[in-house]
Amino acid sequence: MHLYSPSLDTEAADILNDLQVKLNTFLDNFSMGFAKSFQARINGCMRQMAELLYQIKGPPNHNTAEADADNMLRPLMEFLDGNLSIFADVCEKTVLKRILKDLWKIVLSSLEKTIVLPQSNDSLGAQLLTAAKGLSSLKGGGEAKTLTPKQCIIMDAGLETIKQYFHAGGNGLKKAFVEKSPELASLRYALSLYSQSTDALIKTFVTTQHSQVHDGMGIRITGNEKIRPDRGSGIEKPIGEAILQIDMMLGKERKIIVKVIAVNDMKWQTSGMFRPFVDVSMVGPFLADKKRKFTTKSKNNSWSAKFNEAFQFVLGKESPDCYELQVTVKDYCFGRADRVVGMAVIQLRDIADRKSCVCWCPIGPRVQTDETGLTVMRILSQRPADEVAKEFVKLKSETRPVEEGR
């Protein structure tokens, strides 16, 4: 909608256009600020809803899902009914639409953060490590909750009710806005992943996270260890390089032999003795009944350490593209937790066409993921009784300490 007609001269039209942009920006900011003032109360409604939902037990039942959802949504609906009727009376229509849009976003993101993937007051890394260690209570966040299949169906039904409420039979938000909103897509995706098995989630992680260390840069592949490649490009602040020989025997037995040749040029300051060793982990689906991690012996005060130790892994039944090797270099500390020097990730899809090769991998301080990877880790961190999930979350959350080895 424009405030000027074509007959206005250009200067007047420009002034009016400029004023309209300023007015729209002001209304957007006003609406966002106004909606955000309800954030704490909406979060309170979500906590009440979470308690109601967690009390619903038993097998999945589509027939009762809508009634259960209505019961769960009661705290939120009472809050929205009480406030939106007042807004509808006193707000001009364009302002009301803006407030509705901002409230929709807040309600959906609060649903995700409070009920579907509850976040504690800790940083995500601290939460994941806490979960990985199998501690049931997350600081400030109460007990880590996992939704059952029945509760997931109720959440789906509740989501439909919330959508209809905000659409208000055509008087509220447009269906297209609601359906295309990123908050709804994020919540639906989290719910779709939620019901998947640990194996399926780990497969999703491996097949979507292609740049976990150093943005996926710097790994070079040669035919054997005598062929030294050029330095890897795109690496800022190198902290060392792991050299591995990988032999793929993907016949009936689906074996992979990984030889840790050396880790060179490690950057690590410590006041005591430096005793580096390497954990080699196979990550992927259907490995619960197989050996998933091997560890080399440690070397004394060696910043370029030769290991020459070989380990044999057996893959699960999926294609090699669904598996990756993670190498974690650590400093052995007697009587306390070993410290992480750095890690590298080699995805088998990158070497599957070679029977034998040597990978030269710059090690990085941590694994980095996108939203999908983060969602998978948050869901798996809520499965403390599942050894494979717990081990995966711990592996992917380990980080090089800022203080190094001091």
pLDDT value of position 66: 93
For 281-309, the pLDDT digits (tens) are 999 999 999 999 999 999 999 999 999 99
Residue 10 lies in a domain: no
Same domain, 179 and 236: no
pLDDT value of position 143: 47
Q: Cα separation of 344 and 339, whole Å?
A: 15
Same domain, 222 and 276: yes
Residue ending a domain, among 134, 162, 195, is: 195
State the sign of the Cα–Cα–Cα–Cα dihedral 91, 94, 95, 99.
positive
Sheet order of strands, 356-362 included: 220-222, 356-362, 241-249, 255-264, 305-314
Q: What are phi and psi of 216, to 5 degrees?
A: 75, 10
Q: Cα separation of 402 and 264, whole Å?
A: 20
pLDDT value of position 128: 55
Residue 204 lies in a domain: no
Same domain, 172 and 297: no
Same domain, 342 and 388: yes
Number of domains making up the chain: 2
Question: How many other β-carbons are positioned within 10 Å of the β-carbon of residue 122?
Answer: 15
Report the CATH number at residue 85: 1.20.58.1100
Same domain, 188 and 235: no
pLDDT value of position 69: 95
pTM for the complete prediction?
Answer: 0.74
Residue 9 lies in a domain: no
Q: Cα separation of 271 and 285, whole Å?
A: 41
Q: What number of H helices and E strands is found in the chain?
A: 11, 11
Q: Cα separation of 84 and 86, whole Å?
A: 5
Residue ending a domain, among 170, 195, 220, is: 195
Same domain, 277 and 360: yes
Same domain, 154 and 239: no
pLDDT value of position 129: 52
Q: Cα separation of 240 and 363, whole Å?
A: 6
Give the angle 295-133-147 at the CA atoms, nearest 5°. 125
Amino acid 254 reads R
| Positions in the chain short of pLDDT 70 | 1-8, 26, 119-145, 232-234, 405-406
Q: Cα separation of 271 and 266, whole Å?
A: 15
Same domain, 190 and 216: no
pLDDT value of position 153: 92
> Do 242 and 361 form a contact (C-beta atoms < 8 A)?
yes
Q: Cα separation of 117 and 371, whole Å?
A: 13
Report the CATH number at residue 321: 2.60.40.150
pLDDT value of position 138: 37
Strand 142-143 with 137-138, pairing: antiparallel
> What range defines the domain where residue 170 resides?
38-195
Amino acid 220 reads R
Same domain, 167 and 264: no
